[in-house]
């Protein structure tokens, strides 16, 4: 079921002519919501990464940016109506080679979405305490 949802979302994103892709570091946004909305979500993910990098002592100034084990992909739809047909049961779905999230541009991201990005960055870059 989960793999089917991931496959459908990626196939939908790849098949449409009006879809665009944006990338920064471990983040990827596939969007048909326009340039502004996609760049805002990508910037928000990058800001989370930058702040956590400073807190963990890995700063871009020293060329030690945070990364994740698997890339994080956000499929950004133009509206809630378009998203409804492809909604996933959780904020993120872990796939075989990445983590997938789906959202719409007309609704701001939920706190759980930001928290999950932060969790993935922390788990990939900070060692666990004994």
pLDDT in tens, the chain (130 residues): 455 455 555 555 555 558 899 999 899 999 998 899 999 999 999 999 999 988 888 766 566 788 888 999 999 999 889 888 887 888 888 877 889 999 999 999 999 999 999 999 998 888 776 6
Task: Judge contact between 66 and 125, C-beta under 8 A.
Answer: yes
Domains, the chain, ordered by start: 2-125 (3.40.30)
Tell me the C-alpha distance between 89 and 1, whole Å. Answer: 10
Quote the pTM value.
0.81
């Amino acid at each position: 079921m989960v793999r089917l949802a991931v496959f459908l979302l990626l196939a939908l994103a790849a098949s449409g002519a009006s879809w665009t892709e944006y990338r920064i570091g471990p983040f990827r946004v596939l969007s048909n919501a326009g340039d502004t909305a996609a760049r805002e979500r990508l910037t928000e993910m990058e800001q989370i990464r930058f702040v956590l990098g400073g807190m963990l002592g890995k700063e871009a100034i020293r060329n030690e940016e945070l990364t994740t084990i698997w890339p994080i992909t956000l499929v950004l739809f133009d509206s809630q109506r378009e998203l409804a047909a492809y909604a996933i049961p959780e904020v993120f779905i872990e796939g075989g080679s990445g983590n997938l999230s789906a959202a719409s541009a007309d609704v701001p991201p939920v706190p759980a979405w930001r928290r999950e990005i932060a969790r993935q960055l922390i788990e990939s870059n900070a060692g666990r305490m004994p």
